[in-house]
Amino acid sequence: MAWVREKDISGTEQIYFLADVVGSGKTALAHSIAQECSDCNLLASSFFFDCKVGRTNPRDFISNLARDLGSRFPEVSTYISLALRADPNLALSQPVSRLFKELILEPVIQSGIPGPIVVVIDALHEVETPEIQNILRTQITNLSGQFRVFVTSRPEHNVLRSLGPAITPHDLAIHKSANRADMNTYVTHKLEEIRSEHHELENWPDRQLVKTLLDRAEGLFIWIATICDYISHHIYPDKILEDLLKTMREFQLPPEEKMDALYSTIMAVCPWHDAYFVDGYQQVVGIMAVEKMPLTVDGLQKLHDSLPKSMLRVKAIVDKLASLITGSTSLNQPIQILHGSFREYITQRAPGNHRIFVEQHNAQLALTCLHILTKLPVEIIKFGYLNSSKGSGVPDMEIDFTEEQLYALEFWLAHITDCNFVNPPIGLKAALETFLHLSLQTWIEIITSKSKYQSLIPLRKRLPDELVPELSKFRLGPPLRRLLKRLLEDESRLGEVLLVMEDLKEMGESNWDTDSDSDGESSLELESITDSSDDGYRDASNSE
């Protein structure tokens, strides 16, 4: 935190760039810094890029940063609003650097806000295009010296090259004595916890065992944490640990291969000869590999139960994989894959029936979400606040949704976007057509009330050719203009304003009037509107 509070720094010194290998603890550190800065009222914004949940678009980062800065500093919000009203086409600006300049850089400079304030960016290597790197290199340095930007990434060549030599990469020094001391404290504590549950292990672990574990870990916290968690689920933890250390190579594996070898060893003890287990593994771990938000065991079960003829027993599968899943000991605690490196292993490199095929499971989860959404209760479907230009703001929807309903509402679009419609599961196209026909506007109303508006551009980019006319049947212009009016009344929702503007532009809308029969509301004209085209989609979603 000394860097955060240091005075009189400027230029690239405002950026602390942490670049280190998989499993070294970068994301955990980013969370810790964000939390500590938040506790000290120094955090302006944090953004964690993650390809698993589709959070890879630089525009999303800028919208999030604009929203957070506008919420914290009213003067910044005023300048952002003025920029949007002065140039309605700003939301569609390409390149992204212009959007950053006019929504972040200039409002911050004009506001003269006090500092220090911190922006945390995690997993820069997950961004599909180098635009954020270019902004860090060329525009952050123009901000007040009171700004601090903490960035993490894997040390990938394209990231380092895009940032340039002026931004110095740091690492966590995982092979240094300080990191080894931290790991020694951790592993000693974890093994003592395990010993306390096995009274027969009076003299376990000895110092040599701890030293061997630390040597084999080679500075990777996630490696040693995975082993400790794995042996804690066995009745003979000492014997299991001994067997593990015998079967694994001792030293000098690259971090990725080291983690792969550990995951392969742990998974080998599962009952792969049991066809029911293999099927359950594919269904449960398949969902966990592609889900956009962790669900509880109960939520996962109900998600599966929403499909016809589901016979899956989620808890039984989770129990078999407990050492590779966090939260597995409780029905009411969200469970998720232990670490991103395990997800990469099972989706990219695992052999045979251990492999999870992401596109297949995205399509299946999209189908599940659509089944849930087309069966929402009547009182939800009749919400209807976008059918009229009367009223202000986005109304609160005082309805308690189930866990699986909330998931479907929030993430069906993300899963559809990730689908491959070349060979979709049976019923997916029909379910999507039914949803578009019956529930699309209802979904827009609900998601904007319960969460935040989601752009329809990725949906239209991904739709199969035969369903594009189905989407075109709906006159979404009037309800979206009414929604835009409501969102503009809330300065904390500027990011959503940008998304609605993009959708209206893509639909070829020529004005922002709330409705053609509105009661005298002044309209905001969009000047120099061009025809809707496929290029508009491609530009607006080039990193999706």
Q: Supply the pLDDT for residue 86.
A: 82
pLDDT tier at 399, thresholds 50, 70, 90: confident
Burial of 450 (0-12, 13-18, 19+ CB in 10 A): middle
- Residue 311, CB half-sphere, CA atoms under 13 Å: how many? 4
Q: Supply the pLDDT for residue 526.
A: 30
- Residue 143, CB half-sphere, CA atoms under 13 Å: how many? 29
CA distance 207 to 214: 11
Task: Give which of 69, 80, 86, 135 is closest to 106, Cα–Cα.
Answer: 80
Residue 519 scores a pLDDT above 60: no
Residue 512 scores a pLDDT above 60: no
Mean pLDDT over the full length of the chain: 84
Helices first, then strands: H and E counts in the chain: 27, 7
The phi and psi torsions of 131 (rounded to 5 degrees) equal -65, -40
For residues 228 and 191, the answer to whether their CB atoms sit within 8 Å is yes
Task: Give which of 475, 471, 473 is closest to 461, Cα–Cα.
Answer: 471
pLDDT tier at 381, thresholds 50, 70, 90: low
Count of CB atoms situated within 10 Å of the CB of 120:
25
Q: Supply the pLDDT for residue 4.
A: 81
Residue 531 scores a pLDDT above 50: no
Could you tell me the CA-to-CA distances from 467 to 96, 541, 543 in Å, in that order? 30, 19, 23
Rg (CA), the chain: 25
CA distance 303 to 274: 24
- 48 DSSP assignment: E
Q: Supply the pLDDT for residue 17.
A: 94
Q: Supply the pLDDT for residue 317.
A: 92
Top-confidence residue, 280 or 536:
280
Residue 209 scores a pLDDT above 70: yes
Residue 422 scores a pLDDT above 80: no
pLDDT in tens, 161-175: 999 888 999 988 877
Task: Give which of 186, 231, 176 is closest to 210, Cα–Cα.
Answer: 186
| Helix ranges restricted to H, 197-274 | 207-217, 221-232, 237-247, 255-267
Q: Supply the pLDDT for residue 385.
A: 87
Q: Is the pTM of this model over 0.75?
A: no
CA distance 373 to 414: 14
Q: Supply the pLDDT for residue 517.
A: 42
Kindly state the helix (H) or strand (E) to which residue 431 belongs, with its residue range: helix 428-438
Q: Supply the pLDDT for residue 306.
A: 75
Average pLDDT over residues 87-113: 84
- Residue that the structure tokens 């052999």 belong to: 351
Percent of the chain with pLDDT over 90: 35
Domains of the chain, by residue range, sit at: 2-170, 177-267, 275-356, 362-540
For residues 515 and 105, the answer to whether their CB atoms sit within 8 Å is no
Among 28-32, 248-252, 302-306, 333-337, the range scoring the smallest mean pLDDT is 248-252
Cβ-proximal residues to 445 (8 Å cutoff; 6+ apart), any chain: 383, 384, 385, 386
Residue 539 scores a pLDDT above 90: no
Q: Supply the pLDDT for residue 30.
A: 92
Among 31-45, 243-257, 279-293, 529-543, the range scoring the smallest mean pLDDT is 529-543
Residue 203 scores a pLDDT above 50: yes
Among 81-90, 125-134, 142-151, 503-512, the range scoring the smallest mean pLDDT is 503-512
Top-confidence residue, 53 or 284:
284
pLDDT in tens, 310-341: 667 889 999 999 889 988 877 788 999 988 88
Q: Supply the pLDDT for residue 508.
A: 75
Could you tell me the CA-to-CA distances from 352 to 46, 268, 270, 345 in Å, in that order? 39, 12, 14, 12
pLDDT in tens, 278-313: 999 999 999 999 999 999 999 999 888 876 666 678
Q: Supply the pLDDT for residue 535.
A: 33
Say how many residues make up the chain: 544
Percent of the chain with pLDDT over 70: 88
Strand-pair partners of 119: 45, 149
| CATH match of 2-170 with 3.40.50.300 | yes
Q: Supply the pLDDT for residue 251.
A: 58
Cβ-proximal residues to 532 (8 Å cutoff; 6+ apart), any chain: 505, 506, 507, 508
Q: Supply the pLDDT for residue 258.
A: 87
Among 167-171, 227-231, 454-458, 505-509, the range scoring the smallest mean pLDDT is 505-509
- Residue 267, CB half-sphere, CA atoms under 13 Å: how many? 22
pLDDT tier at 504, thresholds 50, 70, 90: confident
